[in-house]
Structure 1
Amino acid sequence: MMSSRSFSRPSGLGLGGGGGGARAVGARSARVVCVATPSKPPASTAPRRSKVEEIKENSDFLRHPLMEELKSTEPFINEPAMQLMKFHGSYMQDHREKRAFGQGKFYQFMMRTRQPAGKVSNQLYLTMDDLANEYGNGTLRLTTRQTYQLHGVLKQDLKTVFSTVIKNMGSTLGACGDVNRNVCGPPAPYTNRPEYAHCEKLCHDLADLLAPQAGSYYDVWLDGEKFMSLERENPEVTKARADNSHGTNYVGSPEPIYGSLFLPRKFKIACTVPGDNSVDIFTNDIAIVCMHDDAGEVYGYNIYVGGGMGRSHRNNATFPRVATALGFVPKEDIFYAVKAIVCTQRDYGRRDDRKQARLKYLINDWGIDKFRAVTEQYYGKKFKTMEEEPAWEWLDYLGWGEQEPNGLLYWGINVENGRLRGGLKKALRQVIEDFNLTVRLTANQSIILCDIQPKDKAAIEAVLSDLGGYREEDVDPIVSGSMACPAMPLCGLAIGEAERGLPDVNLRLRAMLNKVGAGDAAPIVRMTGCPNGCARPYMAEIGFVCDGPNTYQIWLGGNREQTRLAEVYAERVKISELEASLEPLFFVYQSKRLGPEEGFGDFCNRLGFPVLQAYAKAYTESPIAEAAAEAAPAAAVSGKLPRVMVDADAFAALKELASRRGVTLTQAASDAIVAASKQK
């Protein structure tokens, strides 16, 4: 591919001029020169593109051959239609555990909704619950991007399911595919915090700004009838989308921002208020922080770019990345600034290698200064210096809280790995329906019941406890802070377990922490069935990334605030060897942490992996375990460990003393030796 990242377009869809913008030349074989690239003679051959790029370009804006394939009697759709289906919010899947001998794959579809900031109306919640029972596998899944996933839909039911969602004020448009995905925002249900209300509205506006416009969604699922939403698009969004003063738009195209090729890969945006990192803000292509004054009035935005989790095993050219500071923009410019960033990625992102097509790789290749300079040409202004922000904090919004002082309440309910099923699903349905509640989905796969009258609190708790078996005090903080992707048996990329495997892993982690006396600790744990990172394991304090059947990479060193990447600590660890890998580290953590406030990820990052590995090597179940562990840092240099032997009776007495005093064996032994030396 040419260094200019240029690509061909269909005839008649040239980019508009003006303001030094991009220039298109002539007919079907024309080449486009992007704004930051000097004009060059056309190359003799067109740039190499991936197969998906050709499918998009020849689809009549996501219509064909999807419309034809949906009418066939086969239980599946072909490859081109499958690629287009993603833009409409669905993946075709094969249930590996339901394959019948000699009958091939068991095809079904997963549908994903679009829920900006995770907000769900009462009507839509009840609709999704009904669809799960009638057309899905009986469960609902809450995703790590604040949306629903409905699994197990058969091909013949797709049109019914999609049209039902649309007619009940929901949408799946752009939930998947090479477009902007669901825009995340804090699930905070506060009615008296204007900065949170502004952030929520911004999520909806950006979702509208970057939604596909060509109408294929309604052609496919509603036979061309565009269902009218009760919510009118913000006129400022409409104005910003149409603006072509800096050559951003495809003139005369039904897709003024995306054109016929859309984006090189998926694109993710999250918005929040300063200090609230409930959405893993730095893992997004664009991260927006709504800067506000003491009264909560937003006056502008800090913007970060280039975050992303996806990678491939044994391919060092792929990697997770946290977003980099780009600059500050005033309140009135946010739509234009976001559009400029998207257009820069559209025109310069890789289209020959999908593994290198995310924005993070463009920024890694160029550096932030060049990326800023190019984006400013699409924006038409300079980005200003970032505003100062407070420290970040991870908020889960679980438990009871006030939406407003002395007013309505909310209740955040943990949903383990986001899978709503059985008694809890029935109980939530009952209280949401009976008490007319609205809902917010969190980026940590949980759910918040909103608009609760104080007088109804006890009744709602009783239903959840009696019918759902849910009691807030019974949820281990490790569980409520953990996440896993669906993985086996449905995800086509999964090479091992995640959602079904993490509950047992969490129990084993808790047992190890209790064993070494660190029962107060609750590290952030995440597990994925492949390296694509959908549950964001690379930001966790402990991340498990499947690398084969029952085999995982262990990533350590992320922090609770979700501002620092973890690193690979151990490769290809069998799940049966979990205790051997982590118990020594938990033991040293309990012995050496800087008090209860130091998280496990911060501890690992402070000591560094060479020291941790030396401690782990020294750790045994023998009476000399702690003395050996104490000497591990020196041993990492010298390669030798001092040994102190004690007889069995002395060791038993030492254990009893340590237990009675509530200290480690090392501390008990040290205290006893010091006390004895003072007596002399």
Structure 2
Amino acid sequence: MTTSFGAANTAIAKDLNVRVATSFNGLKHTSDSLLLSKRLHVLPSFSSSEEGSTSIIRAVSTPVKPGTSAEPKRSKVEIIKEHSNFIRYPLNEELLTDAPNINEAATQLIKFHGSYQQYNRDERGTRSYSFMLRTKNPCGKVSNKLYRVMDDLADEFGIGTLRLTTRQTFQLHGVLKKDLKTVMSTIIKNMGSTLGACGDLNRNVLAPAAPYAQKDYLFAQRTAEDIAALLTPQSGFYYDMWVDGEKILSAEPPEVVKALNDNSHGTNFPDSQEPIYGTQFLPRKFKVAVTVPTDNSVDIFTNDIGVVVVSDADGEPQGFNIYVGGGMGRTHRIETTFPRLAEPLGYVPKEDILYAVKAIVVTQRENGRRDDRKYSRMKYLLSSWGIEKFRTVVEQYYGKKFEPCHELPEWEFKSYLGWHEQGDGGLFCGLHVDNGRVKGTMKKTLREIIEKYNLNVRITPNQNIILCDIRQAWKRQITTALAQGGLLQPSYVEPLNLTAMACPAFPLCPLAITEAERGIPDILKRVRALFEKIGLKYSESIVIRVTGCPNGCARPYMAELGLVGDGPNSYQIWLGGTPNQTSLAKPFKDKVKLQDLEKVLEPVFYYWKHRRLSKESFGDFTIRTGTEKLQELVDKWEGIPQAASHYNLNLFADKETYEAIDSLAKLQDKSPHQLAMEIISNFVASHQNGKIE
């Protein structure tokens, strides 16, 4: 819909854009009118150069249904945002009270500042409130200084651990309300941020964490940083709250400032403190990832926007393929909620990427549902409209037509674990961290190495950490120190652990239905035991992800085996993701009790071993077989035929060997037998492949 206004209508429309004074519970503040988009669902756009000339509504949104002038229903969170004076009130007042917690409105607002209020759900009686802080680290980049600061804060104000997240950030658990300002200001003053790590706005922008000195990788990472800067809130509420208005971070690149301020296609709220977000921000969280062809370390199709660098034959980046509409969250027993993969939107030249991303964000801002938060993610807008309508609307905000996406090679999952050449003379070392939880001896060892060698680090989207810019001469010493701290090279880590992920869940997440992080170590051991029983090789592995609720923070719907909490000690089982994270899993069974996992998994694993095609992954096998046939096989299962049973060796001949293995196994949260089997299997495999040095 494109409508022309004459001079009279221009004056009326300009008057609608006036920022009006509003009052809420005695607090006087100003608020954008949202250009009456809540009521009219159109977005007039005017600039100083248009005065005296015909003005055009350049932005297109779905029209209000005829025959009604009633305001659309809005959720409680939308009302809180509108009256918050740009995410300040009543949080600013609640933080000054002596209570250990904050009220409901402030709890919603503090998310925009990068924090969630939590309490220990293991305890009964009076709630022990604390706050989780999440940093924002585009590309997962963490400076040496910031890492040391976060490590110190975890000990002084947290629960003594750091957690690496699936969006390349830190989570710091257990911060008390009285310490929030100290912790926040310390992070900000050391060039860190938590702004927008939670809340209804753009979250941390993912990019491959590998510090390769390659044009495409460097370009992808710089683009991720530019997109993060473009979609960062501008109204200053974060700095007002935590550092008394002092803005610590450096100025943004000129191309980002230009794209932010550009309103030639009606994307901005004129004269607003938040030109892109307005007073209402977005309907729900928004996720962006940038990568290069073949590298799907970022789970590109699970994001609202996926951006892929396209280079020419000489390796020079020329533009980007854009994919839209991915998202993991859903609600149990409500079939109208679902995980979804992003689909191709089109290709744009490299100089247009910020404008294209902004156009997509504004399309979601204007048309995403604000009445029911279950349906507020952009994936539901895509599913409702279809890609053609969505593309047409985005193009009007973008001002151009999208070109067709370029053809790309097959995707691969890349973990970047182990030692690698950076391409600039230095090395990087990727380290596996079970469930991203940095604690105990591992935490102490990492701190010592990072501090001693003055290393910068990067967090991966699979909860691991990369030590960057290592000199060749340091490799041996660092390898030895890491091993002593339980941080082994990938060939010595249980293969199932290498790709497994879990969300924190209990005891602190208020949404958790059952265990995830605390439960997955035992689940992985039980899966390995089934593999051994069935006769699957030690080197065989599948992608397992576990979440304590259906929101999907560990992206279980992309796993070959996804376990999604649906009750106390109970999981919904999803099957059919692929190792390169390009296929969506499908629900297989509901309400499987933790103690009954083997009853379901043993027959499925057995038939995978005996009926798979050559080199067929577990996920591909389950999709080819189909859930109905798999269910039939599970229902008829009577146990492994006797001839197919597989027995372990008696591994320990003396007490000293057992005690040495037991000590090392405890560092890795394993049994002595499990670790011994890993060492023997790796030794045999290396010998067979001629790799023994």
Give the TM bin, normalised by the shorter chain.
0.7 to 0.9
Change (3 A) 1:617 1:85: same
Match of 1:317 among 336, 341, 349: 336
Change (3 A) 1:332 1:42: farther
Please say if residues 58 and 396 of structure 2, whose CA atoms lie closer than 8 Å, have aligned partners that are also in contact: no
Residue number in structure 1 paired with 2:229: 208
Q: Whole-Å Cα distance in 2 between the matches of residues 9 and 523 of structure 1?
A: 57
Q: Offset of 1:132 from its aligned partner? A: 0.3
Structure 1 residues 60-459: aligned runs within 5 Å: 60-99=85-124, 101=125, 104-191=126-213, 193-229=214-250, 232-404=251-423, 407-459=425-477
1:377-403 deviation per Cα after TM superposition (whole angstroms, max 9, x unaligned): 111111111111010001011111111
1:216-244 deviation per Cα after TM superposition (whole angstroms, max 9, x unaligned): 11100001111143xx3110110011011
Residue number in structure 1 paired with 2:520: 502
Q: Offset of 1:189 from its aligned partner? A: 0.9
Please say if residues 14 and 251 of structure 1, whose CA atoms lie closer than 8 Å, have aligned partners that are also in contact: no
Q: Whole-Å Cα distance in 1 between the matches of residues 472 and 579 of structure 2?
A: 32
Q: Whole-Å Cα distance in 2 between the matches of residues 440 and 62 of structure 1?
A: 30
Q: Offset of 1:140 from its aligned partner? A: 0.2
Q: Whole-Å Cα distance in 1 between the matches of residues 292 and 549 of structure 2?
A: 32
Q: Offset of 1:611 from its aligned partner? A: 2.2
Q: Whole-Å Cα distance in 2 between the matches of residues 168 and 62 of structure 1?
A: 23
**What percentage of aligned pairs have identical amino acids?**
58
Residue number in structure 2 paired with 1:653: none
SS at match of 1:436: coil
Q: Whole-Å Cα distance in 1 between the matches of residues 487 and 457 of structure 2?
A: 20
SS at match of 1:23: coil
For structure 1, the residue ranges without an aligned partner over 5 or more in a row are 1-6, 26-31, 627-680
Please say if residues 21 and 248 of structure 1, whose CA atoms lie closer than 8 Å, have aligned partners that are also in contact: no
Q: Whole-Å Cα distance in 2 between the matches of residues 215 and 489 of structure 1?
A: 33
Please say if residues 326 and 341 of structure 2, whose CA atoms lie closer than 8 Å, have aligned partners that are also in contact: yes
Q: Whole-Å Cα distance in 1 between the matches of residues 146 and 262 of structure 2?
A: 34
Please say if residues 58 and 266 of structure 2, whose CA atoms lie closer than 8 Å, have aligned partners that are also in contact: no
Q: Whole-Å Cα distance in 1 between the matches of residues 149 and 486 of structure 2?
A: 20
Change (3 A) 1:359 1:37: closer
Q: Whole-Å Cα distance in 2 between the matches of residues 39 and 575 of structure 1?
A: 49
1:645-675 deviation per Cα after TM superposition (whole angstroms, max 9, x unaligned): xxxxxxxxxxxxxxxxxxxxxxxxxxxxxxx
Greater Cα offset, 471-480 or 137-146: 471-480
Q: Whole-Å Cα distance in 1 between the matches of residues 599 and 42 of structure 2?
A: 59
Please say if residues 431 and 487 of structure 2, whose CA atoms lie closer than 8 Å, have aligned partners that are also in contact: no
**Pair 1:462 & 2:480 matched:** yes
Change (3 A) 1:42 1:56: farther
1:555-585 deviation per Cα after TM superposition (whole angstroms, max 9, x unaligned): 0011011010000111111111111111111
Please say if residues 23 and 35 of structure 1, whose CA atoms lie closer than 8 Å, have aligned partners that are also in contact: no
Q: Whole-Å Cα distance in 2 between the matches of residues 248 and 446 of structure 1?
A: 37
Please say if residues 330 and 339 of structure 2, whose CA atoms lie closer than 8 Å, have aligned partners that are also in contact: yes
Please say if residues 139 and 206 of structure 2, whose CA atoms lie closer than 8 Å, have aligned partners that are also in contact: yes
Change (3 A) 1:15 1:24: farther
Q: Whole-Å Cα distance in 2 between the matches of residues 543 and 310 of structure 1?
A: 13
1:349-381 deviation per Cα after TM superposition (whole angstroms, max 9, x unaligned): 000000000000001001010011111111111
Amino acid at match of 1:123: K
Q: Whole-Å Cα distance in 1 between the matches of residues 262 and 118 of structure 2?
A: 40
Amino acid at match of 1:195: D
Q: Offset of 1:295 from its aligned partner? A: 3.0
TM-score normalised per structure 1: 0.86
Please say if residues 324 and 343 of structure 2, whose CA atoms lie closer than 8 Å, have aligned partners that are also in contact: yes
Q: Whole-Å Cα distance in 1 between the matches of residues 63 and 520 of structure 2?
A: 52
Amino acid at match of 2:503: C
Q: Offset of 1:250 from its aligned partner? A: 0.4
Q: Offset of 1:48 from its aligned partner? A: 1.0
Amino acid at match of 2:271: G
Residue number in structure 2 paired with 1:537: 556
For structure 2, the residue ranges without an aligned partner over 5 or more in a row are 1-15, 21-30, 47-56, 645-693
SS at match of 2:111: helix
Q: Whole-Å Cα distance in 2 between the matches of residues 435 and 245 of structure 1?
A: 49
Q: Whole-Å Cα distance in 2 between the matches of residues 402 and 623 of structure 1?
A: 48
Match of 1:483 among 501, 506, 513: 501
Change (3 A) 1:436 1:619: same
Q: Whole-Å Cα distance in 2 between the matches of residues 340 and 10 of structure 1?
A: 23
Q: Whole-Å Cα distance in 2 between the matches of residues 81 and 214 of structure 1?
A: 18
Number of aligned residue pairs: give it.
604
Q: Offset of 1:514 from its aligned partner? A: 1.6
Q: Whole-Å Cα distance in 2 between the matches of residues 564 and 570 of structure 1?
A: 19
Two-structure CA RMSD over aligned residues (Å): 2.2
Q: Offset of 1:92 from its aligned partner? A: 0.3
Q: Whole-Å Cα distance in 2 between the matches of residues 110 and 367 of structure 1?
A: 37
1:190-212 deviation per Cα after TM superposition (whole angstroms, max 9, x unaligned): 12x11100100011100000000
Greater Cα offset, 281-290 or 36-45: 36-45
Match of 2:571 among 552, 558, 564: 552
SS at match of 1:71: coil
Please say if residues 302 and 327 of structure 1, whose CA atoms lie closer than 8 Å, have aligned partners that are also in contact: yes
SS at match of 1:172: coil
Q: Offset of 1:9 from its aligned partner? A: 10
Amino acid at match of 1:408: G
Please say if residues 191 and 249 of structure 2, whose CA atoms lie closer than 8 Å, have aligned partners that are also in contact: no
Q: Offset of 1:15 from its aligned partner? A: 6.8
Change (3 A) 1:351 1:8: farther
Residue number in structure 2 paired with 1:611: 629
Q: Whole-Å Cα distance in 1 between the matches of residues 602 and 516 of structure 2?
A: 21
Q: Whole-Å Cα distance in 2 between the matches of residues 254 and 42 of structure 1?
A: 34
Q: Offset of 1:462 from its aligned partner? A: 1.4
Greater Cα offset, 214-223 or 456-465: 456-465
Please say if residues 17 and 33 of structure 2, whose CA atoms lie closer than 8 Å, have aligned partners that are also in contact: no
Q: Offset of 1:261 from its aligned partner? A: 0.3
Please say if residues 534 and 606 of structure 2, whose CA atoms lie closer than 8 Å, have aligned partners that are also in contact: yes
Please say if residues 424 and 470 of structure 1, whose CA atoms lie closer than 8 Å, have aligned partners that are also in contact: no
Please say if residues 284 and 307 of structure 1, whose CA atoms lie closer than 8 Å, have aligned partners that are also in contact: yes
Q: Whole-Å Cα distance in 1 between the matches of residues 381 and 359 of structure 2?
A: 15
Please say if residues 417 and 499 of structure 1, whose CA atoms lie closer than 8 Å, have aligned partners that are also in contact: yes
Q: Offset of 1:144 from its aligned partner? A: 0.4
Structure 1 residues 12-23: aligned runs within 5 Å: 13=32, 22-23=43-44
Residue number in structure 1 paired with 2:652: none
SS at match of 2:567: coil
Change (3 A) 1:456 1:70: same
Greater Cα offset, 421-430 or 607-616: 607-616
SS at match of 2:361: helix
Q: Whole-Å Cα distance in 1 between the matches of residues 544 and 292 of structure 2?
A: 25
Please say if residues 16 and 244 of structure 1, whose CA atoms lie closer than 8 Å, have aligned partners that are also in contact: no
Amino acid at match of 1:142: L
